[in-house]
Structure 1
Amino acid sequence: MSDCYLPRLGGIEVQVADLVRMQRRAGHEVEVATATRGEALPGVHRIVAPMPFDLPVHPAGVGHLTRRMTASRPDVVHVHTGAVSPFAWMGVRAAVRAGLPCVVTVHSMWDPLTRAAYRLLRLAYGWQRWGLVATTVSNAAAAPIRAVAGGRVPVHVVSNGLDLSAWRSGTAVIEPEADLGEAGAGLGKHGEVHIVAVGRLAPRKQPVRLLRLLGRVRALVPAAVPLRATVIGDGPARGSMERYLTRHGMTGWVSLPGRHTREQIAKVLESADVFVAPAPRESFGIAALEARAAGLPVVARAQSGVADFVRNGTEGLLGRDLGEMAAAVARLCADAGMRDRITAHNRATPPTAGTWPAVLEGFDRAYAEAAQGRLSTT
């Protein structure tokens, strides 16, 4: 169950589609119910209503889903939600009505407003008594869910699944810095230090704060060290970012090339020296994990899900706020020895987070727990 699915593209849509593919490959029979319009796909049921802007909701979704579940009697219903996922939660209601085990995966970080909303829904509907099993993608994302759900809803961490083999660049040899004198100290792979960030340019990701961070980095790094920054992605905040770059005279070294394919992103990462994941409420950080797999030192928020696979000083550097993150990026830009040490570690030590065998095993355990809980209540 997911509000959004292919052909729409986004973090949840791609992750659910990849999970479906890997579970089918593992021998599971998987069907998808979604409110997203699109072409007919095997095993995908599109429950669509004429809504403004093609919003993925359905006014009578609970009834449609209850009838479908009652007819097909799946072994488990797996619901994927973001911060606000009305159709997906209709799927939860339908599963409870049909008496089916239900696992709910929360892909987002619950902010204070979201936590307050789910507390009100808990009072109104008592969802903590429905026998649900919850999973989320990181320890940072699990903490607020546990605080709201209480002890009656188990909350497990099952990370997003990725095939990281294509991102590894372990065949590259890290050469020691040439003796270029004081002016050349800290230069990256191409006579400059290349900083890269990847993500949707949406206001909730606060991409303009990333540009503010880059401006601070430029002020902290010695002028003798040339910097270049590439922010890959597209979205509604792109216009405000372009205006910010122009207003602050940053267009000469910061570029916004737009959306890239995975292959194009991998090519950019080959020329990069530092990866930045600045989003304050990053529940997991797929792009950051891909960059870490490619060997790059990663700078991210200490409170985000990236901290599950980036330890401060080992795979990258972590900061608690914009100032600390800017100082961390500046330190990596100026200190080639630290960059080389972290890069060598990241290339020699593949990340354990996000491997598909671990992800499939984690969900299988959640399915079994939900089925056992349903049996114990019947």
Structure 2
Amino acid sequence: MAGWSLVRVALLSDCYLPRLGGIEVQVHALAHRLVAAGHEVEVVTATAGPTRTRTVEADAGVTVHRLPLPFPGAPPVNPFVTEEVRRLLGSGGFDVAHAHMGVVSPFATGLVDVALACAVPTAVTWHCVIDRSAPILRALGHARRWNERRAALSAVSTMAAARVSGVAGGARVEVLGNGIDVDAWRPQSDEVRAQDDVVRVVSALRFVRRKRPGALVDVLRSARHRLDRTRPGVRLEAHLVGDGPQRRVVAAGLRRHGVDWVHLPGRVTREELRDLHRRSDVYLTTARLEAFGIAVLEARTAGLAVVARTGTGVEDFVTDGREGLLRGSDDALAAALADLAGDRTRLHGIRAHNLSTPPAQSWDRVVEGTTAEYARARRLAGHLS
């Protein structure tokens, strides 16, 4: 970066591996990508390792400070480490602190205040959609005060950034998207796909109400009914990958309605998911509160046509009619899926575009954007001209 070379960054996050989730995976990958780019990274997290003791670990060049509560089953929070982190940030020679926020992130929220009090230039990224919590967050005023104290605010998509700005008093909020290993998800060839009249649909999700798995099945069934009327020679087959408390409910509904063409394989490995993508045609999601959609980006990178709701973070990397189809309601999603399944020329055109055109969210670009955000944090703090 012009005028400044990053030396040391502290990543602050409630959640980190070995917990599994979007923030955990992204923060872990970002830490290692920054190290690979020549930067020094230390992670400060409330997530426990193999034991519930406080530890400092070396992980392939990344130093991980684990500060969990010592109780079995305790969530990744710890209000009793403020002074310990203050000493770390105050004496660690950090050029910037980068906090990662979810819907509820008490650990990182407290550490942002610690970093600012230590006069460490601070960046804060939201990985969530601020929705019903907006009045509470606006009243608490954390984002507004951080902006007033000249922290650099960002979110993982244009939609999410607008929501953050709304609770931060209209503050400038940059977009700092999630990253993907393009080579890992991009297929080497299209030869593994079956040549038949079945259009294969896949979705990867946590089976929780917020992800709307029931609506996903409803859209699939509606699309199938439309095809039965208009293109009876075309069949749908779907694999809904993942686990969670709603999976049993969905499975019971499928059995009740005699739907044997929607499969629930449960949790799969990343290698198994990549193989499923390479044998499929369409990725479907009905999520309305999708801050980014890393699972959607993985499928788009693997060459699948995306069918998704408008008004989500997916719009940052899927343009309607180019990488997929975007619609504003579940009924419109069902119609779009049926139309796409029944028009092989259009489906193949979208797939060909996605296979030949890598997304802009490669890790190289995301690291470049992240370090630019760190430079902005330092400028705001008066450390750079």
Structure 2 length as normaliser, TM-score? 0.89
Which residue of structure 2 lines up, in the alignment, with residue 375 of structure 1? 382
**1:246 aligned to 2:255?**
yes
Which residue of structure 2 lines up, in the alignment, with residue 122 of structure 1? 141
Determine which of 184, 189, 199 is the counterpart of 1:171. Answer: 189
Which residue of structure 2 lines up, in the alignment, with residue 65 of structure 1? 85
> 3-state DSSP class of the match of 2:41?
coil
Structure 1 length as normaliser, TM-score? 0.90
C-alpha deviation, 1:289, in angstroms:
1.2
Determine which of 30, 33, 42 is the counterpart of 1:31. Answer: 42
Q: Deviations for 1:186-230, whole angstroms, at most 9, x for unmatched residues?
A: xx7343111110122222212111111112112111243222110
**1:148 aligned to 2:167?**
yes
**1:92 aligned to 2:112?**
yes
**1:235 aligned to 2:241?**
no
C-alpha deviation, 1:124, in angstroms:
11
Is 194-203 or 38-47 further displaced after alignment?
Answer: 38-47
Count of residue correspondences: 361
> How do residues 1-378 of structure 1 correspond to structure 2 at under 5 angstroms?
1-39=12-50, 41-42=57-58, 43-51=63-71, 53-111=73-131, 113-122=132-141, 126-151=145-170, 153-169=171-187, 171-172=189-190, 189-222=195-228, 223-250=232-259, 252-352=260-360, 354-375=361-382
Query: d(CA) in 2 for partners of 1:49 and 1:173?
Result: 50
Query: d(CA) in 1 for partners of 2:188 and 2:291?
Result: 27
C-alpha deviation, 1:67, in angstroms:
2.4
Q: CA RMSD in A?
A: 2.1
AA at the equivalent of 1:218: R
AA at the equivalent of 1:32: V
Gaps of 5+ in 1: 176-187
Query: d(CA) in 1 for partners of 2:326 and 2:357?
Result: 19
Identical-pair percentage? 42
Q: Deviations for 1:34-74, whole angstroms, at most 9, x for unmatched residues?
A: 00111463111111113573201112243332222123131
Query: d(CA) in 2 for partners of 1:266 and 1:123?
Result: 39
Query: d(CA) in 2 for partners of 1:362 and 1:296?
Result: 26
Query: d(CA) in 2 for partners of 1:307 and 1:205?
Result: 17
Is 40-49 or 124-133 further displaced after alignment?
Answer: 124-133
AA at the equivalent of 2:211: K
AA at the equivalent of 2:139: L
> 3-state DSSP class of the match of 2:141?
helix
> 3-state DSSP class of the match of 2:248?
helix
C-alpha deviation, 1:240, in angstroms:
1.4
C-alpha deviation, 1:170, in angstroms:
5.4
C-alpha deviation, 1:337, in angstroms:
1.3
Gaps of 5+ in 2: 1-11
Is 256-265 or 54-63 further displaced after alignment?
Answer: 54-63
Query: d(CA) in 2 for partners of 1:18 and 1:376?
Result: 27
Change (3 A) 1:328 1:46: same
> 3-state DSSP class of the match of 2:40?
coil
Change (3 A) 1:262 1:123: closer
Q: Which has the higher strand share?
A: 2
Does the 8 Å CA contact 2:176/2:369 hold for their aligned counterparts?
A: yes
C-alpha deviation, 1:342, in angstroms:
0.9
